[in-house]
Amino acid sequence: MNRIKTIFTSIGIALSALFIQSCSIEPLAWQPEIKPAFEGAAQLNNELSTIRKINLGGWVGAEDIVFDSIGNLYCGVHKAANDFSDGKILKINTEGVIEIFYDAGSWVAGLHFDSQNNLLALSHKQGLISISPQKEVTVLANKDQNGNRFLIPNGLDIDSKQNLYFTNTSSESPYTIKYGRKLILEMKPKGALYQFNATSGELKTLIEGTYFGNGVVVAKDETYLLMVETTKYRVLKYWLVGENAGKTEVFIDNLHGFPNGISVREDGSYWLGFTTKRNDALDEIHPSPGMKKFVYSLPAWLQPKEDKFGMVMHISEKGQVVKTFFDPTGMAMPEAGSVKEQNGHLYMGGDNLPYIGVYKLKE
């Protein structure tokens, strides 16, 4: 009898835990479009299986990658796979020697050099910061005009007038794997897109309410910028000048996976990196808030899992897919969230990868 009582008590505790977890999320219904097939310019191949690897010295998560004028590589990293409690900015010289350029104490997701060779960075602890060549750190902004804190600042770019553009994925909570799942399932516009003028110190909100706002890039002619909305499988265009200034439109929609980082090429086209491909189980439950509440309450090992699937798209200025590079097995490049071109090579990082993958572009 005692054993039966113990079993029912355990079941009761488990059900109570599931109920509590389900009450901690209030998801919205969303109907994703039928996912596109891997065909045409998105025909599957094994191009990314040929990468070489740059080790990160035990750190993981090169979410953004930049180079200085002499070819040294910089990236933000965090402590370990699924552990975002500590982070640094690494500097890797042309010989592969690693040093800690800045002890951020948190993950750093966005990086860019300004015209004075200051390294601009988006720290999950300090917000938007500037690091001088002498490693003096200045906090430029850590919250918006309404007091919303930059807890998950993300993509970062800068124009020729030293205007900085960046996203903040959420002001609700610092990033954890569990909170990331919550953002994906809730489908609520909890982020924003900002402009910060480095000369005046003025901060403007360009878009209030973004769906997992992620990578940002300014167009080559600086007439618009692009911003990735990861959970909606799309990239938005925000017009900076002209008769459409201040307006937003969809640049490319219904993508094959979860888009993450974006960067511009010399010819004005773009590289778009993906965390992974789309998940059928996730797409199927998105229209049902109740089902999403139930799934969120389940233990992590029972929830839909992301596939190890490397993917980078070359996208034209018109928002058309030109070519796609894949590692469909995920053996070499299981994710390719960040992507930058340098000297005929693609440098790719991922949220939980302990290395940067380098792919040699073909003529």
DSSP per position, 296-319: HHS-GGGS------EEEEEE-TTS
Is this structure's pTM higher than 0.85? Answer: yes
CB 228 within 8 A of CB 259: yes
Express each pLDDT in 104-151 by its tens digit: 999 999 999 999 999 999 999 999 999 999 999 999 999 999 999 999
CA angle 298, 278, 190 (to 5 degrees): 70
Q: What is the pLDDT of residue 23?
A: 54
- Asked whether the CA dihedral 144, 130, 85, 212 is positive or negative, the reply is positive
Q: Which two tokens stand for residue 173?
A: 């909570």
| Residue-level pLDDT at 9 | 38
Q: Exposed (0-12), middle (13-18) or buried (19+): which is 192, by Cβ within 10 Å?
A: buried
Is pLDDT of 99 > 60?
Answer: yes
Integer Cα distance of 276 and 350 in angstroms? 10
2-360 has which fold?
A: Neuraminidase (2.120.10)
Cα–Cα distance measured from residue 3 to residue 314, given in angstroms and rounded to the nearest whole number: 61
Question: pLDDT confidence of 2, banded at 50, 70, 90?
Answer: low
Alpha carbon of 138 to those of 65, 123, 127, 191: distances in Å?
Answer: 21, 12, 10, 24
